[in-house]
Amino acid sequence: MLSKIRMQYNAPLICLLLIAVGLIQCKEPARPANNLVAGLQDSRFTYTIFEGQLGQRKRVVLADSSIVMLNGGSRLLVPAGYPQQTRELILDGEGYFDAAFNGNAQPFIVKTDKLTVTALGTAFRVRSFAAQPGATAYLLNGKVRVAKTYHSDTDNQPEILERGQMVLANKEIDLMEKETYEPAELETWLQGDLQFRDQPFMTAMRQLEDWYAVTITVNTDVSAIQNISASFKDKTLQQVLDALVKPKGLDYKIKDGEVEIK
């Protein structure tokens, strides 16, 4: 049996809903990510690039004490003028942002090729890979304004998010919708406390996709594998796969954000 998991959004139930009504496809087409990100840069500034290694998170403390947690395979571009001239960051991937208060009311902005999130003294999570049409933004604390980065021919109205609210977006079909989510899930992600409670193998793999921002393909029959109960604290993707996959008599390979299990 060949099983493939292709999660574009962080909330599995919402992803399934969008798939059911034909709004997104599970397998996203390749697109020139570097060109899309380059088009967001301000020609006045040079940029320092921070990258999260695949299957790991990278903590970045910015010059104004704002904190960024980059997920694996993600890039953050910080302009040389930050924070005196601008607090506008560019993201390709997934990151959590805890924006420090700025006495001069300089807005804290995270821009991707699909969404632009503007905040003052707040905490939020954004997932937007330039190579994928889908994007999400989650508000943990405070308040943010979320708008489409590109011009829409149908709707350019921004959304204001409060705690427990999120935005789902899909650039290919020009979609941006406000939804709700459970903040405790994001708080657990921040604590690095990954838990599996009597979950089927494929459900656990979907959770790993969301947790580490990877795509997992399972090329074998796993229907006979018993449900998984385990917990991990601040572990890398490789460490988790070593504990969950190899004891089941399976092997895996990680390459370019893709995990193959066989």
pLDDT on residue 102? 73
Which domains are present in the chain?
1-29+192-262 (3.55.50.30), 31-185 (2.60.120.1440)
C-alpha to C-alpha distance for 107 and 88, rounded to whole angstroms: 8
pLDDT on residue 18? 41
C-alpha to C-alpha distance for 138 and 16, rounded to whole angstroms: 18
Q: Which residues contact 43 (CB under 8 A, 6 or more apart)?
A: none
Q: Is the pLDDT of residue 262 over 70?
A: yes
| Average confidence score pLDDT of the chain | 86
User: Burial letters for 66-95: b for 16+ Cβ neighbours within 10 Å, e otherwise?
Assistant: bebbbbbbbbbbbbeebbeebbbbbbbbbb
Burial class from Cβ neighbours inside 10 Å (0-12, 13-18, 19+) for residue 54 reads buried
pLDDT on residue 17? 40
DSSP reduced 3-state for 243: helix
CB neighbours of residue 241 within 10 Å: 22
Average pLDDT over residues 168-185: 95
Digit-coded pLDDT (tens) for 27-64: 333 344 567 788 899 999 999 999 998 889 999 999 99
pLDDT on residue 38? 83
> H-helix or E-strand containing 187?
helix 183-191
Task: Compute the Cα dihedral for 172, 24, 189, 124 and give only its sign.
Answer: positive
Which of 68, 57, 63, 86 minimizes the C-alpha distance to 232?
A: 57
Residue spans of beta strands (DSSP E) within the chain? 3-4, 47-51, 58-61, 67-70, 75-79, 88-98, 108-111, 115-119, 123-128, 134-141, 144-148, 159-161, 165-170, 175-180, 193-199, 215-218, 228-233, 252-255, 258-261
- Quickly tell me which residue has 């405790």 as its tokens: 184
At 77, the pLDDT band (50, 70, 90 cuts) reads very high
Burial class from Cβ neighbours inside 10 Å (0-12, 13-18, 19+) for residue 207 reads middle
- Quickly tell me which residue has 């996959």 as its tokens: 245
pLDDT on residue 11? 44
Q: Is the pLDDT of residue 3 over 50?
A: no
Give strand pairing partners of 148. Answer: 115
- pTM score, whole prediction: 0.82
Give strand pairing partners of 193. Answer: 233
Q: What angle do CA 260, 132, 184 make, to 5 degrees?
A: 80
pLDDT on residue 33? 56
Check: CB of residue 227 under 8 Å from CB of residue 205: no
Structure tokens at 112: 């991707």
